[in-house]
Amino acid sequence: MGFLAEIVAEVRADVARPEYGEGLPGPGASHPASLRQALAERRGGRGVVAEFKRASPGAPDSVRRPWTPTEFVRATDLPIVVAYSCLATRPRFLGGPADLAELAASTPLPVLFKDFVLGAAQVRTARRSGAAAILLVARLDGNAGLEEPLRALAERARSAGLEVLLEFHAEAELNLVDRVPADVFGVNMRDLDTLKFERAAAERTLVKARELGLHPLVGMSGVTSAADGRRLWDLGADALLVGSALARSERPGRFLDDLAAERGGVAR
């Protein structure tokens, strides 16, 4: 059994707990900022989606400083950051919806609810936590762990006022584009079955997604240096989702400055 099958089973059990999502505020009167719009406005400007994460099974040393979500926002409050992502998965990643609620309350920028979303409870929780968008993993299409087809989940999220970021890894997964409604598209450098970086395969998917006209398009994971960021931007990514590199850095602002300089922009 690969990692994806294991984590789906663990997330399903976690979400089934009666206390899942307790203590969250209801959605505010104002609607969160649009992730799609935030990325589209910076198309060509090459922005960053900064991800708050507490742990990463694929990189056990990825988190060094125990940031709170509020501290993380303060440390990454730079013009190159156009949105935030929060790993809200409790099994193995040690996150949760409460992290996202604090993150969303700390910034006016849109926040992505990043989890292995399987059903309605997570969609409702994402909305209550203040998320602007929810992540759906294309590789889960047809997975027995899903409560309903991926298309229905996307429609449910949109009906709840959430945008959808549809994540791919392999080229074959792009055939879901016509079947699963999405507002933003992403390509993960990591193979979720093995947790290994499969950059060549993912880069082919990124190029193909660009050829298909999928925008905004986010390069996800594997950005450990400014050069990594430049490569994904040059291949067609409109923005980068950066997690572990910020989490392990004592000065994440400097890492973001380096990315901004690499793209030819000015961070400060």
Domain range list for the chain:
3-18+31-262
Q: Once rounded to an integer, what is the mean pLDDT over residues 78-85?
A: 95
CA angle, corner 47, sides to 60 and 170, nearest 5?
A: 60
The answer to whether the CB of 83 falls within 8 A of the CB of 35 is yes
Residues facing residue 165 across a β-bridge: 135, 184
| Predicted local distance difference test score (pLDDT) of residue 29 | 46
Which residue is listed with tokens 């006209």? 213
Mean of per-residue pLDDT scores for the chain: 90
| Predicted local distance difference test score (pLDDT) of residue 249 | 78
Given a cut of 70, whether residue 155 has pLDDT beyond it is yes
| Predicted local distance difference test score (pLDDT) of residue 251 | 82
61-97 residues labelled b (16+ CB within 10 A) or e (exposed): ebbeeebebeebbebbebebbbbbbbbbbbbebebbb
| Predicted local distance difference test score (pLDDT) of residue 50 | 95
Q: Between 153 and 255, whose confidence is greater? A: 153
pTM over 0.75: yes
Q: What is the pLDDT of residues 11-43, one digit of tens each?
A: 999 999 999 988 887 665 457 899 999 999 865
Q: What is the pLDDT of residues 187-235, one digit of tens each?
A: 999 999 998 989 999 999 999 999 999 999 999 988 888 899 999 999 9
Fold topology of 3-18+31-262: TIM Barrel (3.20.20)
Exposure on the CB side of residue 80, measured as CA atoms within 13 A: 28
| Predicted local distance difference test score (pLDDT) of residue 57 | 82
Given a cut of 50, whether residue 60 has pLDDT beyond it is yes
Given a cut of 60, whether residue 265 has pLDDT beyond it is no
The two structure tokens encoding residue 235? 């291949």
CA angle, corner 63, sides to 59 and 67, nearest 5?
A: 155
**HEC profile for the chain?**
CCHHHHHHHHHHHHHCCCCCCCCCCCCCCCCCCCHHHHHHHCCCCCEEEEEECCCCCCCCCCCCCCCCHHHHHHHCCCCCEEEEEEECCCCCCCCCHHHHHHHHHHCCCCEEEECCCCCHHHHHHHHHHCCCEEEEEHHHCCCCCCCCCHHHHHHHHHHCCCEEEEEECCHHHHHHCCCCCCCEEEEECEECCCCEECHHHHHHHHHHHHHCCCCCEEEECCCCCHHHHHHHHHHCCCEEEECHHHHHCCCHHHHHHHHHHHCCCCCC
Which residue is listed with tokens 């004592």? 250
Q: Once rounded to an integer, what is the mean pLDDT over residues 30-58?
A: 84
Residue 195 — left, alpha, or beta (φ > 0 → left; ψ -120 to 50 → alpha)?
left
Please report which confidence band the pLDDT of residue 61 belongs to, taking 50, 70 and 90 as the band edges.
Answer: low
| Predicted local distance difference test score (pLDDT) of residue 266 | 35
